[in-house]
Amino acid sequence: MEHHAHGTSYGVAMFLASAVDQQQALPSRRRLLPAVAAVLAPSPASGSSKKKTAAATTDTPQCDPLIQERYVAELAVQRAVLATKTVLLNWPPRPTAAAAQAAATTASLGHVKRPGAKTVAKAGYPPVRVAEFAGRALLIAALREAFPRDGFLGQETADELRANSAMMEEVWKLVKTTELQDWRLEALLGRPQSREELLALLDLGGGVKRAEPGKRYWVMAPVDGTAAFLQGGQYAVALGLVLDGREILGVVACPNMPVTTAFAAPAVVRPKAAAAAAAAGQDWAVDNLETNIDKQGLGIMMAAVLGHGVTIRRVTNGKLDKPAKVDRTGLPPPPQPNSIPGAAKFCELVFVDSERSSLTQAPMVKLFAYKGYEKSVQLTSSHMRYAVMALGYRSWAQIRWPKGPSGKGRCRWSIWDHVGTPLLYTQSGPGVVTDMNGMDLRFDEGTNLESTWGVIAADNGIHHELTHMVSLVPKPA
């Protein structure tokens, strides 16, 4: 079989080239080659690995060099959303009213009601594990079909399923019954045809521990925010493509985020209108977003390609919905530090945080928020936090202060919690994402962030000041 650049199969390339009615005319794969080379070329070496704070390009050019990868990735994530929502439908989460509403989606949305499915909850393993394994298998199957030369950096192999036949059967049933309502799209994505093939796909995702230079790798989180998922809260289905340690493509779905809430976000509205609303004190209504769940639909999906802007669209059970642009550039800049001494000078910022997190120190964030912490945006999922920052105001910032000590390899966070959505933030407008020391997040050191400690995400106009203040606070030994 003939293969094109980066391993796109000939059949897939032909299908993509004919998908004009889906969204737009997809340029020929061969025509894309020069643009792909330009975007994917490694950055010139410099004497410092400090983060460059140049503003992101948010105007999407006519020729997106990764348009085919983006298209397949969005379809694959959309299908994975159906699997996770099916789990919520069949195994309602724990909380009462909010959880029941989250699970009350109908089969017309593409979910599958299966008799006897609740038995998984009694089998000694949480339903979120079924959603994770099924979502991961469906994602890998789609990407492997379209881009067979790409690699995967995943969380785990299929060993847990091999050791638990009951869970294996539930995962297999879910994979078999989850499909987009368009046979052409299903043919494009592909799927495992047997239990053995399903296990082999999962092994692909968990068998690689370190990236090879010059090779592209997909990193995924089929259910990010497992605690929130089990409680009927906000969770994410995230997918990112990395090359030589940096993100080049990111897609995230927020299946429980109300569509009306997402499309009312400041960055989705035309910048002038959003700026006027902000000046008039009309804040984006994100109070209690963790429990303000999508009761009937499938949520929203955002996508970004390095240097080519960010889009948002409604998740469907078939063809991709019409996208809207996400751009924070025209919004009011963040307030500068005031005259209050110490970290509290940043109290006019709005911090996006997870106060209940077992991995980070909320009290340290409260030093910066001062008396304004009560206006913070609280979300359990790390990918949800990045996504909301991409949609929100330029005055929003994130400091993830680890509980563990600083130093290489001493406080390791998994890359699948931080691949894809940081790109959404930096490409949606002026934004920088680094570790606590101002260093780039590196995704070429294995499955963990080995050389980085914590995260600071903030507007270009305030990031340096935040990083400097963080450097003055004593770190744990």
> What φ, ψ does residue 141 adopt, rounded to 5°?
-60, -45
Structure token pair of residue 83: 């699997």
Instruction: Please give the full DSSP string across 8-64, using - where no structure is assigned.
Output: -BHHHHHHHHT-TTTSSPPPPHHHHHHHHHHHHSPPPP-S--BPP-PPPP-SPPSS-
Categorise residue 224: left if φ over 0, alpha if ψ from -120 to 50, beta otherwise: beta
Q: Residue 402 in contact with residue 366, Cβ under 8 Å?
A: no
33/55 Cα distance (integer angstroms): 26
Closest C-alpha to 461, from 397, 369, 377:
397
**148 CB-contact burial (10 Å; exposed 0-12 / middle 13-18 / buried 19+):** middle
* CB count in 10 Å sphere of residue 162: 12
Q: Is 444 annotated as a binding residue?
A: no
H or E, element range at 388? helix 382-391
Assess contact for 81 and 300: CB atoms under 8 A: no
Please give the C-alpha separations between residue 472 and each of 48, 466, 467, 468, in angstroms, as whole numbers.
Answer: 21, 10, 9, 7
Question: Which three-class secondary structure state does DSSP give residue 432?
Answer: strand
- Which amino acid is it at 281? G
Residue 120 near residue 165 (C-beta atoms within 8 A): no
72-108 per-residue burial string, b: 16 or more CB within 10 A, e: under 16: bbbbbbbbbbbbbbbbbbbbbbebeebbebbbebeee
Distance in angstroms (rounded) separating the CA atoms of residues 210 and 208: 6
Rounded to whole angstroms, what are the CA distances from 459 to 239, 334, 337, 467?
Answer: 23, 7, 13, 12
Tokens of 179: 């499909």
User: 377-378 and 350-353: which strand pairing?
Assistant: parallel
Q: How many CB atoms lie within 10 A of CB 219?
A: 27
Q: What is the DSSP string of 94-162?
A: SSSHHHHHHH---GGGT----TTGGGGGGTTS-HHHHHHHHHHHHHHHHHHHH-TT-EEE-S--SHHHH
Residue type, position 49, single letter: S
Q: Which residues are documented as binding site?
A: 224
Q: Which residues are documented as binding site for Mg(2+)?
A: 224
